[in-house]
Structure formats: C-alpha cells, structure tokens
Structure 1
Amino acid sequence: MNRKQIAVVTGAHSGLGKEFVKLLTEDGTISEIWAIARNKEKLDQLISEFGNRVRVFSLDLSDRTSFSVIEKLFLEERIHITYLINNAGFAKFCSYDDITVDESLNMIDLNVSAVVALGLICIPYMKKGSHIINIASQASFFPLPYQNIYSSTKAFVSNYTRALNVELKNKGITAIAVCPGWMKTGLFDRGTIGADRATNNFSGMVTPDVVAAKALSDAKKGKDISIYGLPVKLTWLFSKVTPPKLMMRIWLMQQGIKP
C-alpha cells in the first residue's frame, strides 16, 4: 500500500498559513493537507473553501500534550510528509512588564518549542525532497526593544532552521527560514494591546500571498532563507554590518519611542 503524501501546516486557519494551504491544494502530488490551529470554526472553513483534501485538527501547540496527539495520528496512518510548515506563532507589541509571566512563556512555547517539537516529530516521516518551512521574521535580524521576546524567538527560529538544514543534507531534506517584514494578517490584532510604549510604525506592509509563494519557490530551490521584498533584504544586509546598539537606536527612532 502506497503512503499518502501529506503537508502539515500550523497556524493554518488564516493569514500566511491559509495562503500556504491554498497554494498546496494546487500541488497535485500532495494527497492531503493537514491544517492545524486552535480555532475549529475557522479551520472548518478551509474545507469549505479548498475541498476535502484538507484535514483539520484543532490543537493548541503551546500545550505540549498536542504533540503526543500528532505523533499518534502519524503512527495510525501510512504517510510521507512532503512539507512541514511551522507558521503558528504570536507577538505582543509592548514593554516587558505589560504582559504576564504566563503570556511571555506562552509566546516562547508557541514560537520556539512547537517549532522544534514538530520538526523532531515529522523528520522520521520525511524523505529525500521533503521540506521544512519555518516562519521566522524580519524581527530576527536584530534585537527589538518593545518586542524583546518576539524578536528573540524569531532569531532562534532563523538560526535553528539554517543549522538544521545543514544537518539534514545527507537525507535530502531541506529546512528554510522565512523572514517576512510586516504582513496584513491577524498578528497585529492580537499583538496590539494598547501599551504606552509599543511598535506602531508598520511601514512597507505586504499581503501574505506573495510571501507564501516566494517561500515555496525558495524551498524548492534548496535555499535556507527566504526574504521577500527589497526593503526587507536591505534591512537584512544592513544588520550584517551595523552594530546591534545602532540598529536598536534606529528602530526606536522609526517607532517614535524615546530610549
């Protein structure tokens, strides 16, 4: 019996995750897209919109028991994983003391621990030509005051993914860190909490469809990083040669925040 070729997409119910689901439904080599997110109602809408090749799983990836559920599903079915797209994550635009300890740790669990856990769970079901696509951010390029946890988690995702890509070369599996700038997604609704000192300048915003399309294209080319748009590429290059203290100072000026 042949194994099903599946794609696993987290944070799949909206925004960038939904764009990945849409693009993957156009790939005739994939039998099923496993869409994972917390909101069951929005997940069910994916089936209505994209068809029965989409299977939905309502799970909270900040809860580590979710990984046992996913492992059990993998064991029950004959699958190969063609794509793992770790898109689930969230941000809070505020000072360190505007959110609780639980909220801070939850951000780390979802943005970091879930990425690592799902990679480790999925790699045994991958084969030559499979891809891990981990969503990092332009925020990974340098420390960001008033996004200190978010930027740090995305720096981890970027470094982890690019190092993992080297380790997986002998298996023919690629891992790519996607580093978008500002995108028109629900991240802002959840991240903006009305803090006195917070990110407020979201210039150069793009739609998630172009980021998803470039990410898939770059993954197929075997790249270990995907950066959409000239402004983000210039920021990346600038961060390579500019001291972090100066980068943070420029960032604060852009946001209209006094040090």
Structure 2
Amino acid sequence: MVSTNSSGAAPSVVSGNWQTNKRLATVWDRGVKSRPVAMVYGAVVFATDNRKMYRHMASAVALPEGTSVLDIPSGGGVVFLGLRPGKPLRYVAADISDLMLDRARAEADRRGLDFVEFEKADATELPFKDEEFDVVVSYSGLHCVPDPEAAVREWSRVLKPGGAVKGSVVVRGASFLPDRFINLWVKLRILDVVTPVEEVRRWFRDAGLRVVRTETSGAVLYFELEKPKDRKA
C-alpha cells in the first residue's frame, strides 16, 4: 500500500516533481541562493527570517580539518555558501534529483570547491556504510521527502557515535498564513510531508538522536542533534 500525505497525493509524486521539473528546480535554487529574494519569500510565505538560515548553515560547516560531512538532500548546493576552497573536509553532496545535482556541481565549480563529492541517493535508503560520517547536514529538504521518518533513521545509521546533525525543516502550526501556504505547496506537489514540531521531535527521538538545540522562526524549525556514543537518546 502506498501511503499518502495530507493532500491525498502519493508521496512519490513530489519526489518525482523535483527530479523532472527543471523550472521548479531552477526557480527554487536561484531563489534560495539570492539573499534578497530568500528574505522576501521567507517573510511572506513562512513568516521566517532567512538570515537565520544562512547563519545556521555557515555554522554547520565551520568544521575541523578531516571532518566527514553528508549533505542530504543537497539540492543545488545552497550549503556551499558556507564552504571555502581548499577546505580539508570529506564533503558528500547527495540528492535523488539529477537536476539538483547538476546545479550543485555547477555551484561547486563556480566556488572552486573541488573537494566536494556527489552522489545520487534516495534519502530514505542511503548508499553509505553504517557510522560513515561525522556530521549530517539537511537544510530545507526533509519536507520534500515522502517518508521523512525513514530519512531521519538513515541519518542516525550513517552517523558515527558522537556525531552531529544540523538542519532545518518546514513545520505546521506556526500561524494561519504559513499553514495556508503549506497546504498550497502540498497540493502543488512541491512539499510532501509537513507536520507540527512535536512530530518532528518524535522522529528524532525514535531514531536515537538526542536533541541538543531547536529554534523555530515562523514555520521553520532549526535543529541541532547528536548521536550519543552509548546509542541511548
């Protein structure tokens, strides 16, 4: 049986949209990388201040030499805005969409980020070994995944004990207008599963991830998680 999201649409429709709709991929990627556009969009649609997003992303990738990082789903490489050429990291950008990976490769080339690796991957079935990464970053993508709870479990699986997860996700319940926009984006097959904050926190707990810090800004939840060394949340 195929589960459905709140709009009644098969979740795979949304994933497929991001894989085949070049206009959607282009408009989204350009918008999120343009701070003036992102500021207006965030304020109007999600009642959020997207300066928090840029600060959070920059902090997430300010890491020691030799750190292994998985960026999932990477989209067009928006987190690359916080990276610098020659950074001695292992950085893997993974996404199910070839359209987005092509944009991410172009972004990495433009910024001289020759250390970034690229992998086509389903967020719910990652092609990586257990405990392979020190850090997982996931910004503004979990709400486009048909089974976000499975994606969170995969974060935990590929993360080393003591490792960190940092990211953001759109949530319901902030206020009337953002919820109306969320309903619209779901109907348009742009967003998939969008839940209240409490449900997202349950996904984290059930995956064995400890919540270090969360912050809501309008309809966006920012989170910092840790995989305990003893595997107990």
TM-score normalized with structure 2 length: 0.43
TM-score normalized with structure 1 length: 0.40
**Higher relative strand content:** 2
Larger Rg: 1 or 2? 1
